[in-house]
Amino acid sequence: MLKVDQIDVFYGNIQALKGVSLEVNEGEIVTLIGANGAGKSTLLKTLSGLIKPKNGFIQYLGDSIGGKPAQAIVKAGISQVPEGRRVFANMTVEENLELGAFLRKDSKEIHKDIQKVYETFPRLLERRKQLSGTLSGGEQQMLAMGRAVMARPKLLLLDEPSMGLAPLMVKTIFQIIEDINRNGTTILLVEQNAHMALSIANRAYVIETGRVTVSGTAAELQASEEIKKAYLGGH
């Protein structure tokens, strides 16, 4: 579904991604793990069209999308849940969800999808008229995910969904990620919590200082002594 081939990305003179290649097949959950500043978020921003790669190719469903504008990429079926949630704080929960569907014209279906989001996240239904900026971190994460699925993406990019959340909320968010995947959405997940990420992923890539250093099935990475030491707290 997605093929990233040898991409280089620069911020000014600093090279953030160095010849990164990876693949995501339809129906999978693929996770990227790595330390802070390794280039994980940069990769997602490049896939979303927010940053242009200097070299290399990005193919999505057979089309080249490297350097295309962000709105064209959303239209093609890729949505991102950004790091830090980035909800529109001075708009209500429901207005945020409606914005997620801004490229769609099928108002009946949009209404249905909003109801679906409320079924998935009952907390958002209770808060639907509330300003998003007044929600807790966990509720904002739910809203950011709900807003992204309103675009009906084929591929969902998730950037650090567990960041700053209480352990119980992390568990809930990861269960919902699995549900979204079971309902037919392919997922590329960037996550610092390597334990949780590998527990739900099919395959994984490790990024270190802008390069992919290890890749394999999630089970292979969970079993690797090196990965355990570096990312799983040694156990």
Tell me which amino acid residue 180 is: I
CB 46 within 8 A of CB 219: no
Q: Is residue 138 part of a domain?
A: no
pLDDT of residue 169: 84
What gap in Å lies between CA 219 and CA 217, rounded to an integer?
Answer: 5
CB 163 within 8 A of CB 84: yes
Q: Which of 8-12, 93-97, 168-172 has the lowest mean pLDDT?
A: 168-172
Domain residues for 209? 2-87+153-231
What gap in Å lies between CA 70 and CA 76, rounded to an integer?
Answer: 10
**Residue entry with tokens 């590998």:** 198
Q: Which of 186, 204, 193, 174 is nearest to 149 (CA)?
A: 186
CATH number at residue 35: 3.40.50.300
Q: Is residue 108 part of a domain?
A: no
Tell me which amino acid residue 40 is: K
- pLDDT, tens digit, 9 for 90 and up, residues 23-39: 999 999 999 999 888 99
Q: Is residue 93 part of a domain?
A: no
Q: Is residue 116 part of a domain?
A: no
3-state secondary structure of 112: helix
Q: Is residue 115 part of a domain?
A: no
Cβ count near 110 (within 10 Å): 17
Q: Is residue 220 part of a domain?
A: yes
Note the pTM of the prediction, 2 decimals.
0.91
- pLDDT, tens digit, 9 for 90 and up, residues 109-136: 999 999 989 998 888 999 999 999 899 9
Q: Is residue 171 part of a domain?
A: yes
**Residue entry with tokens 């953030």:** 16
Q: How many domains does the chain have?
A: 1
E strand residue ranges, 147-233: 155-159, 186-190, 203-208, 211-217
Tell me which amino acid residue 95 is: E
Q: Is residue 148 part of a domain?
A: no
What gap in Å lies between CA 75 and CA 89, rounded to an integer?
Answer: 24
Tell me which amino acid residue 53 is: P
